[in-house]
């Protein structure tokens, strides 16, 4: 192994430390995640963290760029976001503070998109804000809708304000947070996988684990070569009955928590 390979291996190990080793196990809720960098290290990130008052913070982000520079910025963003999330709680305030810190030292031509939400597991309430990231899909009994929220990416402009929105996940609802690596994947004919296709696939699944597996299988069939962008998927499912495990129908399965796969 030459020096460059060794440095990449070390960078990959370091990046793994910034991804959740375990996902929460809460009565009535189920979490699943998949992270797949396009190279040895990537610029995507996700986080699921416990907050004061029994709340749970969930984030998915995407650094503009690839490789080690993007991975370094990913690590910085993740650290700042987690610190501010615990201190401020409010998603809009958290993103505003993260932006204020990143904008001072952001390298030219780089920025970070991020969708951040706070879950109250006791009642299913979600508060969320968006910094230029692709919108999550919410699967309900009547179809699939987006959690609509707009805002500038992090690190581009100072003094940004991020609007905060509020909704509630009903029993049986599932939420998918994702980066654009899956929807914007192209095949050999330069056809894009597409957000409409992604949304349609989300509509066919009630459990996060099976949906993630199905999405990756569909993508493998669509692609003819290696993926050229990072792929991050994070799901949140509310049980159909109080105290359930979040799966619809069958008995419990092992909780899926993929920290890094390639």
Give me the pLDDT at residue 248, please. 38
Three-class SS of residue 31?
A: strand
Whether 259 is in a domain gets the answer no
Whether 246 is in a domain gets the answer no
Cα gap 115→106, rounded to integer Å: 19
The values of phi and psi at residue 221, to 5°, are -70, -25
- The CATH number of residue 74's host domain is 3.60.40.10
Whether 88 is in a domain gets the answer yes
The values of phi and psi at residue 92, to 5°, are -65, -40
What's the mean pLDDT in 115-120? 98
Whether 4 is in a domain gets the answer no
What are the pLDDT digits (tens) for 8-53? 665 666 666 667 878 998 999 999 999 887 766 677 899 999 999 9
Distance, first Cα to last Cα, the chain = 19
What are the pLDDT digits (tens) for 69-115? 888 888 889 999 999 999 999 999 999 999 999 999 898 889 999 99
Whether 73 is in a domain gets the answer yes
Count of domains observed in the chain:
1
Cα gap 72→200, rounded to integer Å: 34
Helices (H), the chain: 3-16, 67-88, 91-102, 195-202, 208-222
Of the listed ranges 105-109, 116-120, 123-127, 137-141, the one predicted with least confidence? 105-109
* Token digits of residue 121: 């597991």
Whether 162 is in a domain gets the answer yes
Whether 10 is in a domain gets the answer no
Name which of 179, 175, 177 is nearest 139 in CA terms.
Answer: 175
Residue range(s) defining the domain that contains residue 53: 20-238
Give me the pLDDT at residue 19, please. 79
Give me the pLDDT at residue 251, please. 29
For residue 168, list its beta bridge partners.
125
Whether 29 is in a domain gets the answer yes
What are the pLDDT digits (tens) for 198-251? 999 998 877 778 889 999 888 888 886 666 678 899 999 998 876 665 543 332
């Amino acid at each position: 192994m030459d020096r460059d390979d060794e440095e990449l291996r070390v960078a990959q190990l370091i990046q793994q430390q910034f991804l959740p080793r375990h996902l929460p196990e809460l009565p009535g809720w189920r979490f699943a995640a998949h992270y797949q960098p396009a190279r040895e290290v990537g610029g995507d990130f996700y986080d699921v963290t416990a907050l004061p008052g029994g709340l749970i913070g969930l984030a998915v982000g995407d650094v503009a760029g690839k490789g080690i520079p993007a991975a370094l910025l990913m690590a910085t963003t993740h650290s700042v976001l987690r610190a501010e999330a615990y201190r401020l709680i409010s998603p809009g305030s958290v993103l505003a503070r993260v932006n204020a810190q990143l904008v001072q030292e952001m390298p030219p031509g780089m920025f970070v998109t991020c969708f951040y939400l706070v879950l109250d597991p006791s009642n299913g309430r979600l508060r969320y804000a968006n910094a230029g990231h692709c919108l999550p899909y919410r699967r309900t009994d009547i179809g699939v809708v987006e959690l609509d929220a707009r805002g500038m990416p992090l690190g581009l402009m100072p003094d940004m304000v991020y609007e905060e929105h509020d909704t509630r996940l009903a029993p049986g609802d599932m939420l998918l947070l994702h980066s654009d690596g899956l929807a914007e994947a192209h095949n050999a004919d330069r056809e894009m996988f597409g957000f409409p296709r992604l949304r349609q696939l989300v509509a066919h699944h009630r459990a996060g684990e099976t949906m993630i597996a199905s999405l990756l299988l569909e993508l493998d069939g669509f692609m003819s070569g290696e993926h050229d962008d990072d792929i991050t998927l994070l799901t949140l499912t509310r049980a159909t009955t109080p105290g359930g495990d979040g799966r619809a129908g069958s008995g419990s399965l092992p909780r899926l928590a993929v920290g890094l796969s390639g």
